């Protein structure tokens, strides 16, 4: 039995009381767990499911970036839930808060969707939504939350090779959870983070980002730091607003940055 499969039952038992109908699947290899759940959503599947993979051959990140994933060296999974929040803004930040608090006190959040450990990238989050177009679904859409967490620290050269050609900002050096939690396996990490993630996403549905704002601020890796945007603009990161948008104080005044617009790096 694989490491991930050994922890499936414990994850299911912890989640199903809060989420009836929930299932957990593990695949040895797939192109992308997010891509697979989005395919299912377009075919009409709206049931809550967590899909984990020992290996992803075409993992995806925000803005089309690739994600480095090797069997046994990382945890990659996607969580699909039907949701109908009043406002979707800040969901990726709420997900990041949940994961960081489940992982380790040293894990910080680099807006909008990265987990950082000691100033280096530990993991990433990709949030997508889909609707099957049927009236029976009502106002709910299926949200697919993809998570990638390095267990071992990847080789920097492997991460650099996945960088988008001509990218305005260089890739962040990688980190691995084994640096602070020696011996923890991908399956153990999944059991550690998945139940809390489901509870927090359901809390986001009912309470929005406001319920996570203070928790995010406590783990905000950019607050008070000089940052540079993709377009070359520099300024000082000043936290996020009520919708989770990044606030950057520039020479031209305060600028509100949405995750769909730019990437951000500390200077």
253: domain range?
A: 222-267
Q: Which positions are annotated as active-site residues?
A: 62, 121, 265
Mark whether 103 and 229 lie in a shared domain: no
Half-sphere exposure of residue 226: CA atoms within 13 angstroms, side-chain side: 5
Distances (CA, A) of 154 to 121, 167, 171, 190: 10, 20, 13, 19
Residues 57 and 151 reside in one and the same domain: yes
Structure tokens at 83: 């949701």
Q: Which residues have CB under 8 Å from 98's CB, separation 6+? A: 193, 196, 197, 199, 200, 201
- 211 and 229 together in one domain: no
Q: Which whole-number Å values give the CA distances from 133 to 81, 130, 137, 139, 261, in the listed order?
A: 16, 9, 8, 10, 28
> For 4-40, what is each residue's pLDDT tens digit?
999 999 999 999 999 999 999 999 999 999 999 999 9
Claim to verify: residue 193 and residue 215 sit in the same structural domain: yes
pLDDT in tens, 185-196: 999 999 999 999
For residue 249, pLDDT beyond 70: yes
**CATH code at 195?**
3.30.930.10
Alpha carbon distance 72, 88 (integer Å): 33
Same domain for 231 and 207, yes or no, is no
Residues 205 and 239 in one domain: no
Looking at the fold, whether 141 and 236 belong to one and the same domain comes out as: no
Whether 215 and 237 map to the same domain: the answer is no
Range scoring the smallest mean pLDDT among 21-25, 75-79, 157-161: 157-161
Specify the pTM.
0.89
Is 90 exceeded by the pLDDT of residue 105? yes
- Kindly state whether residues 197 and 241 are assigned to the same domain: no
Tally of domains in the chain: 2
Write out the two tokens for 12.
Answer: 């299911």
Rg (CA), the chain: 18
Q: Considering only the C-alpha atoms of the chain, give the largest distance between any 2 of them, rounded to a whole number of Å.
A: 58
pLDDT value at residue 63: 45
């Amino acid at each position: 039995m694989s490491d991930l499969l050994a922890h499936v039952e414990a994850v299911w038992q912890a989640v199903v009381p809060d989420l009836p109908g929930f299932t957990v699947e593990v695949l040895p290899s797939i192109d992308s767990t997010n891509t697979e759940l989005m395919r299912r959503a377009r075919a009409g599947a709206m049931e809550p499911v967590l899909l984990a993979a020992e290996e992803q051959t075409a993992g995806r990140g925000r803005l089309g970036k690739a994600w480095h994933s090797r069997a046994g060296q990382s945890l990659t999974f996607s969580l699909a839930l039907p949701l109908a929040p009043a406002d979707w803004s800040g969901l990726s930040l709420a997900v990041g808060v949940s994961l960081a608090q489940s992982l380790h006190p040293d894990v910080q959040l680099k807006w909008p969707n990265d987990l950082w450990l000691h100033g280096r990238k530990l993991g990433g989050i990709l949030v997508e939504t889909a609707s099957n177009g049927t009236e029976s679904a009502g106002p709910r859409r299926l949200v697919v939350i993809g998570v990638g967490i390095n267990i071992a620290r990847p080789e920097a050269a492997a991460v650099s090779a996945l960088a988008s050609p001509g990218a305005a900002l260089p890739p962040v050096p990688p980190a691995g959870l084994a640096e602070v939690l020696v011996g923890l396996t991908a399956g153990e990490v999944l059991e550690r983070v998945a139940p809390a993630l489901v509870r927090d996403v359901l809390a986001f549905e009912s309470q929005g980002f406001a319920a996570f704002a203070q928790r995010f601020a406590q783990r905000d890796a950019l607050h008070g730091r000089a940052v540079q945007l993709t377009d070359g603009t520099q300024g000082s990161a000043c936290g996020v607003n009520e919708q989770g948008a990044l606030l950057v104080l520039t020479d031209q005044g305060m600028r509100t940055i949405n995750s769909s617009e730019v990437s951000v790096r500390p200077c």
